[in-house]
Structure 1
């Protein structure tokens, strides 16, 4: 798969409704968009194994136990404790080969398998740490993909929230901490990680690619196009930056476009 083919897949995913969002295919396209022409078989093999094993387990186990045991024990998916900032931890192809990665990358396999097995599961954009929400007969529970899918008790969620800087009033509200997000938002979270890392390391080409993936996945959100514009400007690609700003302004309406000093500043630099 080429980078252009990956962009076509991401564009199609961006046009899909949340209920029909192709999480696994979009995640593969994101990885190829970063580094094209790689073999994606490890991803498909791992995803298929997860689906088959989880379907077997849900027949005799609770949804949360089945998902945790399948992904954490049977398939040995876990967080990379020693090299947390390794770029491989955010790349779905590398994650499939190594069985290690960041929570948001591991979550792709959790959520894909859960869908196939008929489980009601979703990502949780918890502060500083992505988790999986699974609906059970006793209510929703949280699993931590970074820790072999371990069950996270409500008291621990509160402690984590306090350490992340949330106020006690918010940290005690389980319904807020466990708010589910769509598969689209789950994958965008991973691209946000890549964007922030690239900006910190002044890799503006990588930052542009990750921002563009977000923009393609959620084309109606102007914020992603603004990040594309910023990354292009830092590379000196002023025409491309202006084009991305135009996309953002088209979403926000004429009034905001007129208020934007960035748009006029770039236009003047091009003249």
Structure 2
């Protein structure tokens, strides 16, 4: 949630952490003493989606606010990855650890204990899926037959989750032509993944778009020094030539 302070400087992170604490405590009270995976998931689902009204923002999927956790908590709507992060945080507070699954085109979560064998689609009201359902979900997303490869269901780290959230925002701001905001997100990505060549390239291209020639030249030259035989290297060299 820290990166949200760049967009919302007055954000009080502790307030939102306290909100998650309160939600978790109410779910814990509802759970009682007899606890097992399916009961925990169904109890979280009932409180989060039926009582509080959290839901996937299918009507305005590319609204930047869907990628800021404070806004997702306030509006009770978001995209798969941000809703999943909230769910993961609640599960952690219930001593029921879950992990994120960065499936192509979608984001799921599952209990940390692999032998449970179930996945949760938080974007779709906490729908419970099995491995076969995940393959069907992929076909539905891509509108064509697609084989579910084992690595599609590999858990992702917190760093990877944050990187995916920031990358979503990066492309949202690109499509909205909000270049200063996009630049800020790239800077955050480079803090997360220092010297990542594609982020350096994209920052250079963004500086070029903003007519900041010196900064653009520095980044694009650095990109070529890291990946001199990149597929887009001829195009980058042409841009550098234009700025001379």
Moved more, 182-191 or 213-222: 213-222
TM-score calculated relative to the size of structure 2: 0.79
Match for 1:165 among 108, 131, 142?
A: 142
The SS at the match of 2:189 is helix
Corresponding residue number in structure 1 for 2:205: 230
Match for 1:146 among 108, 114, 123?
A: 123
Matched-pair contact (CA < 8 Å) for 1:111–1:121 = yes
Corresponding residue number in structure 2 for 1:96: 73
- Quote how far apart the aligned CAs of 1:125 are: 1.4
String of CA shifts for 1:162-185, please: whole Å, max 9, x gaps. 2333875623x5x34422111111
The SS at the match of 1:164 is helix
Corresponding residue number in structure 1 for 2:85: 108
List runs of 5+ in structure 2 lacking aligned partners: none
Q: Quickly say closer, same or farther: Cα 1:226–1:50, change in 2 above 3 A.
A: farther
TM-score calculated relative to the size of structure 1: 0.72
Moved more, 40-49 or 144-153: 40-49
Q: Quickly say closer, same or farther: Cα 1:37–1:157, change in 2 above 3 A.
A: same
String of CA shifts for 1:149-169, please: whole Å, max 9, x gaps. 221233331112123338756
TM-align CA RMSD: 3.2
String of CA shifts for 1:178-218, please: whole Å, max 9, x gaps. 22111111121111221122222222222222222222122
Q: Quickly say closer, same or farther: Cα 1:71–1:244, change in 2 above 3 A.
A: farther
Matched-pair contact (CA < 8 Å) for 2:88–2:97 = no
Corresponding residue number in structure 2 for 1:194: 169
> Highest Rg: 1 or 2?
2
Distance in 2 separating the partners of 1:228 and 1:53: 44
Corresponding residue number in structure 2 for 1:209: 184
- Quote how far apart the aligned CAs of 1:86 are: 2.7
Matched-pair contact (CA < 8 Å) for 1:130–1:144 = yes
Greater RCO structure (CA 8 Å; 6+ sep) = 1
Corresponding residue number in structure 1 for 2:36: 62
- Quote how far apart the aligned CAs of 1:132 are: 0.9
- Quote how far apart the aligned CAs of 1:222 are: 2.5
Match for 2:160 among 170, 179, 185?
A: 185
- Quote how far apart the aligned CAs of 1:102 are: 0.9
Corresponding residue number in structure 2 for 1:87: 64
String of CA shifts for 1:225-265, please: whole Å, max 9, x gaps. 22222222211223333444466567x37x569x9456655
Distance in 2 separating the partners of 1:235 and 1:227: 12
Distance in 2 separating the partners of 1:169 and 1:264: 37
Matched-pair contact (CA < 8 Å) for 2:64–2:172 = no
Q: Quickly say closer, same or farther: Cα 1:150–1:164, change in 2 above 3 A.
A: closer
Distance in 2 separating the partners of 1:148 and 1:82: 15
Corresponding residue number in structure 2 for 1:125: 102
